Amino acid sequence: MTTRRDLFKITGGAAVGALLTPAPWRMITDGALWSENWPGIPRPARGEIRAKFTNCTLCPAGCAMKARCVGDQPISLAGVAGHPLSHGALCPFGIAGHHLPYHPERLLSGAVEDAAAAIKKGIGEGGRIAVFDTRPGRTASWTYRRAMASLPGGLYLRPQAALNGNAVDLSAARTVLSFGVPLLDGWGTPGNVIQARGNFRLIQVEAIESRTAAMADLWLPTNAGEERAMASIILNGGMDHIARELENGPVLVLGPEDWPEIVELNRKYGALGRTIVSRRDAPVPDTWKDAAPEMEWADAAEGSIRVLLIDETAPGAYVPWHSLETKLSRDAVVVAFTATRDGYARHAQFSIPTAVFPEALDDIPAAVDSPAGVFRLSTSLVPPAAGTIDPAMFIARLAGIDAASALRDRAGAICRSARGNVFHYADSKSTPMKEMKADAFWKSLNEGACWIDDLDPKAPAPKLVARAATRASNVSLVETCGAGLVSPLFSKLHEESHVRLARHEIALNPAGGFHDGERVALQTDCGRIAMTVLLDPSIPPGSIQAATGADVLDLCGGVTGAKVVRI
Amino acid sequence: MNARYGMTIDIDRCNGCGACMVACAVENNIPPAHAGANDRKGLTWIRVYKVDNGKEYPERRSAFVPVLCQQCGNETPCAHVCPQQAVDVDPKTGVVGQMPERCLGCRYCMAACPYHARYFNWWDPAWPKGMEKTLNPSVAPRMRGVVEKCNFCHGRWHEARQRAAAGGLAASEPVDYVPACVEACPAGAIRFGNLNDATTEVARKSKEPDSFRLLEKLGTDPKIYYHSKRDWVKTIAEAPRPGAGKENVRG
Amino acid sequence: MDKEFITRGVKRCSGGKFLLWLTPWVLLLAFGLFSAALVLIKGLNQTNMDNRFAFGLWIFLDLTVIALGAGAFFTGFLLYILKIDDLKAVINSAVVIGLVCYSGAVCVLAVDVGQPLRAWFTFWYPNVHSMLTEVTFCISCYLTVLAIEYLPIVLKNRRLREVPSMLVFEHELHKLIYVLAGVGTFLSFFHQGSLGGLYGVLRGRPFAFREGLALWPSTFFLFIISAAAVGPSFILLTTWLVEKISRKKLVKPEVPGLLARISGLMLAVYVLAKTVDTLVWLNRTSPERGFQGWQYYSWRPFGTWILFAEIVVFGLVPALILLSPKLRANAGWRLSAAAMACCGVALNRFVMTVQTLALPTLSFDPFMSYYPSWQEVGTFLAVVAYGVLVYSFSFRYFQLFPQERDLRVQTPPQREERELITAGRY
Amino acid sequence: MRGTILFLAGLTAALGAGWIAFPKVLYRHSPQPVDFSHKVHAEKAGQKCEDCHAFRDDGSFAGIPSLEKCSGCHAAAMGTTAAEKNFIEHYVIPNREPEWHDYAQQPENVWFSHATHVKRASMKCETCHGNIGAAGTLPAYRLDPVSGYSRDVMSMDACVNCHRQKGSEHSCLDCHK
C-alpha cells in the first residue's frame, strides 16, 4: 500500500523530471510571447505602398496632398512639395483628414425619401426654394444655380464674400496690419502665408495673444471690443509709430470686413490694386450662363423662403442660425446636407448624410490669398460610405437637370480657354494649358494636378464696400475642433496636452475667479452653452477665448456682451 | 563613419499649430486618447508646450516649444537604468531605441528622464471602428502596460533603407529619410539630419550662437537643438526657477 | 482542537479567540486582493500614477518595508557572524518579519509592473548597469535565503518533529544556518544599497542624483546604514507590540536594551553620514548640474522643514535618546525613540521617491502632486494584512521567542494573570 | 530502495510527458490548402524562386504568390496530377484565394526586409528557408496557439547569431519596429 511518503517521492521525481524537459520553459516563454500579441490589438494591413494625390476640401485653401496608401487605403497624408499655392504645407486638420470617414460621430443615416417628399410638397405649394451654399464657386455651386434657375422662385444664397470677392496678393505686401485676423493660424492658404511671411512685417491688433499675435513682429494689445476704436485712431494718424510703420508699403490691412475703417485704411495706404486685387475665376461652360445669380443670404427677403436646402459638405463661412432663420417662412422646410450632427443639422428637419473628405469628388475654388483663378479636384481616395448622398446630384435631380458630368464639362471649358498652366503633383512639372487636350487634362486632374490661371492684364480695379458694422465681440474664437469633423487624433492637441482648446472649452484669466476644469455656461442674448474652464494667464481679464464650433458661432456670431456664468 | 541623427527646432518659427503631434500619432500608430486620459496620462511622442516670459498681461509673451525624446548621447539616462535591455542606443545612428516587446513596464526609465519624453500605455490601445485600416504597417502597435517614445520614426528609416537596397544603392544610411514631424511642420521649424556631417543644415545650425539644448548642464548630450533669437526664450534651457512659469503646463 | 500543534510549555489562546483575532485581517486581505486583481486585470489605469508620477505609493512603501525588514539580516549578521548571542532571543521573530516584509514587497512589485508576464526577462536579458537588475537579483535570492531560514522555525513545530526525516532535515539545515546567515547578510547589504542606488544614479533628476564612491552613488551606502539602524528598532517595536497584545513576557529585559544600543549606534553613524552627504550634494553635486540647491525647497509644501525633520527630528534626536543609557533604560523613551527612527527612514524613502518625481526638471514644468487611488492603498493593505496573518500563525504554532518558556517558569504568573491565561486570553 | 524506484518512476513519467506528449499537445498541426510541389515547379517548369516569390515595385517582398499569379499558368490543367486538378477546381475556377499558412511569418514587431538581405547582402533563399524549394510536398504547418507563432519561424537568436558573424548587429531597432 502507498503511504504519504511514497507520494512525496513520486512527486519529487516528477518535479525533477519536468524541469529536465522543455515543457515548463516553453510555457514561461510562451507566456511572454503571448503578451506580444496582446488581445484586441489591430494588426496593420500589409501590402504594396503606393502614392496617390488629391486636394484637401476641409477648408477653402484646398492644399495639395500626397497620400501614402497600402494598396488603395490611405494611411497618411503629406503636402506636395513645390506646389505653387500650398508650398508643401498642411495644417493639422488636413494631415489627419483621412480619418474622417471613420469618425464615430459621423452622420450616416437620414430620411432621404421623406426629405424629398417634403421638398416637393413645399415647392408644390408655390413657396420659394433656396440653396444655401457654404462654399460658393465650386462646380457643385454652379449646379445649384442652374437648378435654382430651372425651378420657379429658386434662389441661390451664399455667405458674405471675403473682401467683396477680391483676392489678396500677400507676396506684394511689405506691411500687414491685421485686426484680429488669424493670419498665421489657418487663414488663407497656410503654406502660401508662411512662404510670404519673410517678406512682410506683421502688426497684429488683438485683445488676446493669439498664435498670430505671438508670432507677429508687433502685437498691439487692446481691450476686448476696442479693436475698432484702435482702427479709427490709426486711420486718423493717432498712433504715429504705427503710421510710420505703414509708410513702408505696399500695405495690406485685414480685419472684420464690415468695418468702414478697414476699407478706409486700405484705401488710404493704397492697398487696392496692389495687395488687394480682383480675381478672374475659372471659366464655366457657356450653357451654364443662364444659371441663377449669386445672392448674399443677407439680401434675401425676410420670411420669404419656404424650402431651404443647406449644403455644408464643403466647410466655409458659417452664418449663425438666428440670422439665417429670419429668412424662413413660418412653415419652412429646412434640409441640411452634411456629414456631422453639429452644424445646421441641429436646426434642420431633415439631415441627409453626405460623403466626407477624402470620399467625395469635388473641386475647390481659389482661396482668398490666390490672385489667380484655379481649378483642382479632390478625387476620392476611398469609396463613399453606404447610404451617403451627393447633394449636387440630389438637387439636380430635384430640378430635373443633368449634372452628372458637370466637373468634366467645366474642365473642358477651362481647357478651351487655353489660359494658364497645369501643375502636375507627381513630377512637380508645369505644362501650359494650351498644350493639353481635354482628356489628358481631365486625366491629370484626377491623378493630381492643379490648373492655375494667368493673371488678368486688364483686371478691373478692386472695390471694397463697407456695411453697417456689427460691434466687436469680447469672445475671441480660435479655430480648433470647430464645425464639422476632425480626426479623433486631435485628442493629442487638447485632451492629452493643451496646445489647442477642445470644443466646449473656454480659456479665462485666473483673475476671473473661476477654477481650472470648472463647469460654467457661456451666455449671450442668443442663449447659453455649457463650457469647461481652462485658466490661462495670457488671456486678459474680461476676455474669453473659445473654440469655434457651429453652436458657439450660433451663440456669439455677430452678438456682443458674452459672459461666463456659474451653473 | 557612424551617423548621429539630430534635430534643430526653430522656436521663433513655431506657432504651436500641433501638426507635428498629429503627424507623429498618424505615423507611429498612436491611438486616440482614452476617455480617462489627460495631459499627464496621454500618449504623444512629441508634445508642444506653451512657455512664456513670466510677466503679466500685456507684457506677457508666449512661445511654443515642441519637446520630443532628446536622444541623449552621453550615459543616456533611460538606457542606463532599464533592467532588461529594452532601451538601447544605436551606435550607427545615435537613435535611442525603445523596445515595447521587451519592456515589462516598470517605468524606471520614465523616472530617469528629465525631459518627460517617455510615455506609458495606461490603457489598452483602441481605435474607432474602421480607423484601424489607416494604421501604418511599418510600425507595430503597442500593448497596454509598456513604455514608448520617439525613435525618429524608425519605421521610415527601415523603409528608406529597403528602398535603397531595392534600388541597388550602396549607401547603408538612407538619403531620403526624414521623420514625420519634420515633414509635417508647415512652418519648416523642425530640421533633421546627421550632426556628424558638417555639410548638413542641422550640423551648421546646431553650432550657431542662438542654438541651445535643454538642461545641457546635466551632461546627457541631447541631439535636439533649439533655436531662438529671443533672450527670454533661451532661458527655458535652464533649471526651473520657482515662481516663474508655474502655470505653463496645467498639471 | 489545535492544541497538539502548539509548542510545549507555552500558553496560547483558544482556537475561537484566535479565529476572532484573524477575521478582520482576513477581510482586509480579501479587500486588498480584490483591488490588486482589479489592477492586474484592468491595468495600471486603476492607479493614480501617470507619466510624470511613474512611481507612486507602492515604490515608496516597498522601500520603507524593506528597510524595516532589514532587522532580519542585520540581527542575523550580529548573531551568527559577530556572535552576539543575546540576540538569539529575537532572531526567529526577526526572520519572520524579514520574510513577511520581503515577500510582501515582491508581491506588490509584481502588481506594479505593466507586463508581469515578462518580469523574468530581467534574469534572462539582464542589463548589468541597471540598479534595478541588482535589486531584482538580490531580493529574489535573499527571499529564498529567508525562506530557508524560516524552514527550521517551522520544522521545530511539535507535530512535524514526529516525522523522523523532518528531524534529520532540520538538523542538516541547522549546520547550514551560518552559511545562510553569511550569504543572506551579503545579499541583503547589497540590495539595501542598490535600492538606494536606484535613485542616486538618476543623473536626469538632480534632486536624487549623488556622486559615487567606487561603483555606487552615496545613497547606496546611506540606505545600508539607515536600514541597519532601523532594523533593530523595528524588532524592538514589534516585540513590544506582541508582548502587549499577547500579554506575555517574551524576552529578557536586557535584550531590548541591547537592540536599542545597536540601533542608536547605527543611527548616529547614519545621521553623520547623511549630513555630510547632504552638504556635498547641496553645495557641489547639484549646482554643478545647473540646479541651485535652495530651489528644491522653495516648492511648497516641500520646504526646508522636510530636511530638518528627516535629519534632526527623526534622526539625531532618537539617536541621542538610544545612545544615552539612562533614557533607553526607560521603556517609554526607548520605544518612542525607536518609533521616531522608523519614521525617519520612512520619511527618507518618501523624499527619495515621491519628492524626486514631484519636483520639476524643465523650466516650464509645473510642480506635480499625486494622491494614491483606493486600489493602490488597498493593494498595500493586503500586504499588511498578509504580514499580520503570517506572523500570528508563526507566533501561535512556532517558537518565535525561545526565552518565552523559561520566563514563564521563572515568574509564575499572578493570579489574575493566570486567570487570563486559563481564560485563554492573549 | 522502494523510494528510489518510486522516485525514478516519477522522473521517467515526467520526462516522457515533457519530451513526447507535450509537443503533440501544444502544437496545432494544419495541412496546407493545396498539395503543392516546389520540386515539380523547379524541375519540370524550371522555375526559380523569384519567378513566383517576387518583389513589389516599392521594394517590399510579395511573399507567397496570389492566386492571380498561379492562374497565369494554371488557368487550365497543365499536367495530369490530382493535386493540380483539385487546385483548379477549388481555387482557380471559383477564383478563391488559397489560405496558405506562412511557415516563416515573422511577429508583427519584426521588420524583415527581403530586399536588404537578398539584394544588398545577396543571400540565398536556402540560407533561411532551407531546401523547401526542392521538397516534393509541403510539410504540415505547426502553430503554437499560446504564442500565436509558427513553430518553424526563425527565432531571434538565429537572426542575432548571423548578424553578429556579419558584424551588422547594432541595436534592437535594426530588426524591430
Which residues in chain B are closer than 8 Å to C133, comparing Cβ atoms? 83-84
- Chain C CA closest to residue A28: C117
The one-letter amino acid code at D79 reads G
Of B93, B155, B168, the CB nearest to D119: B168
Average pLDDT value for chain C:
87
User: CA-nearest residue of chain C to B245?
Assistant: C364
Task: State whether residue A29 sits within 8 Å of chain D by CB.
Answer: yes
CB of A461 within 8 Å of a chain D CB? The answer is no
Q: Do C289 and B217 touch (CB under 8 A)?
A: yes
Mutation target among A4, A19, A29, A34 for the D interface, most CBs of D within 10 A: A34
Mean pLDDT on A68-89: 94
Mean pLDDT check: name the lowest of A143-147, B67-71, C257-261: C257-261
List the one residue out of A338, A293, A342, A364 whose CA is nearest residue A135. A364
pLDDT given for residue D43 in this prediction: 85
- Taking Cα atoms as reference points, which of B2, B4, B7, B3 lies closest to residue B192? B7
Q: How far is CA C166 from the centre of its chain?
A: 30
Q: Is A29 exposed, middle or buried (0-12, 13-18, 19+ CB in 10 A)?
A: middle
- The answer on pLDDT for C165 being more than 90 is no
Q: Could you identify the residue written with the cell 511613474? A: C54
Give the confidence band of A480 by pLDDT, cuts at 50, 70, 90.
Answer: low
pLDDT value for B171: 63
With contacts defined as CB-CB under 8 Å, which chain A residues touch D10? 9-17
Instruction: State pLDDT tens for residues B39-56.
Output: 999 999 999 999 999 888
**pLDDT tens digits, residue range C369-398?**
899 999 999 999 999 999 999 999 999 888
Give the residue among B90, B115, B118, B114 at the shortest CA–CA distance from B103.
B118
pLDDT at B243 over 70: no
Q: Give yes or no for D156 touching A (CB within 8 A).
A: no
Extract the runs of DSSP E, i.e. beta strands, from A288-413: 294-296, 305-311, 328-338, 350-353, 362-363, 374-378
Mean pLDDT, residues A414-430: 94
**Is D113 within 8 Å of chain B by CB?**
yes
DSSP letter for A505, please. E
CB-CB: which of B85, B102, B140 is closest to D108?
A: B140
Average pLDDT of the segment spanning A244-261: 87
The C-alpha of D134 sits at a distance from chain A's nearest C-alpha, in angstroms, of: 28
Q: Compute chain A's Rg from CA coordinates.
A: 28
State residue C420's pLDDT score: 42
**CB nearest to B125's CB, from A41, A43, A95:** A41
C-alpha distance across the termini of chain B, in Å: 44
Chains that touch D (3 or more CB pairs under 8 A): A, B
Secondary-structure percent of chain B, ordered helix, strand, coil, rounded to 5: 25, 15, 60
pLDDT, tens digit (0-9, with 9 covering 90-100), for C234-264: 999 999 999 998 888 888 888 899 999 999 9
- Yes or no: say if C189 and C224 are a contact pair by the CB < 8 Å rule: yes
- DSSP secondary structure of A65-118: EEEEEETTEEEEEEE-TT-TTTTT---HHHHTGGGGGG-TTB-----HHHHHHH
The number of beta carbons lying within 10 Å of the beta carbon of residue A248 is 11
How many angstroms separate the CA of residue C289 from the nearest CA in chain B?
A: 5
3-state secondary structure C40-107: HHHCHHHCCCCCCCCCCHHHHHHHHHHHHCCHHHHHHHHHHHCCCHHHHHHHHHHHHHHHHHHHHHHH
ipTM for the predicted complex comes to 0.91
- The pLDDT value recorded for residue A454 is 93
Q: What is the DSSP pairing of strand B147-149 with strand B118-120?
A: antiparallel
pLDDT of residue C89: 87
pLDDT of A450 strictly over 60? yes
Of A14, A23, A31, nearest to D10 by CB-CB distance is A14
| Mean of the per-residue pLDDT values of chain A | 90
Among D10, D12, D147, the residue with its CB nearest the CB of A33 is D147
Give the span between the Cα atoms of C374 and C48, in whole angstroms.
9
Show the 3-state SS of B4-31: CEEEEEEHHHCCCCCHHHHHHHHHCCCC
Q: Grid coordinates in use for B45? A: 511622442
pLDDT, tens digit (0-9, with 9 covering 90-100), for A340-376: 988 899 999 999 999 999 999 999 999 999 999 999 9
Q: Using a CB-CB distance cutoff of 8 angstroms, which residues of chain C are in contact with residue B53? A: none
Residue A6 pLDDT exceeds 60: yes
pLDDT above 90 (res A475): no
Give A70's contacts in chain B (Cβ within 8 Å): 137
| Chain C hits for A34, Cβ within 8 Å | 117
Chain C residues in contact with A35 by the CB 8 A cut-off are 115, 117-118
Percentage of residues in chain C having pLDDT higher than 70 = 95
- Better-scored residue on pLDDT, B179 or A255: B179
Task: Answer whether C363 sits within 8 Å of B110, measured CB to CB.
Answer: no
Taking one residue from A and the other from B, the number of pairs with CB-CB distance under 8 angstroms is 192
3-state class percentages of chain A: helix first, strand second, coil last, to nearest 5:
30, 25, 45
Q: Is the pTM of this model over 0.95?
A: no
CA dist D62 and D85 (Å) reads 26
Which of B84-93, B241-250, D49-58 bottoms out in mean pLDDT, i.e. has the lowest? B241-250
CB contact at 8 A, A116 and A398: yes
pLDDT at C391: 93
Q: Which sign, positive or negative, has the C-alpha torsion A544, A548, A549, A554?
A: positive
Residue A223 CA, chain-centre distance (Å), reads: 29
Q: Evaluate whether chains A and D are touching (3 or more beta carbon pairs less than 8 Å apart).
A: yes
Q: What residues in C contact B42, CB-CB < 8 Å? A: 51
**Residue A36 contacts D, CB cutoff 8 Å:** yes
Per CB-CB distance under 8 Å, the chain C contacts of B245 are: 363-364
Instruction: Encode A283-303: b = buried (16+ Cβ within 10 Å), e = exposed.
Output: bbeeebeebbebeebeebeee
Task: Give, in order, the Cα–Cα distances in Å from D33 to each of A431, D30, D71, D101.
Answer: 53, 9, 16, 8
Task: Kindly list the residues from chain D whose CB atom is less than 8 angstroms away from the CB atom of residue A51.
Answer: none
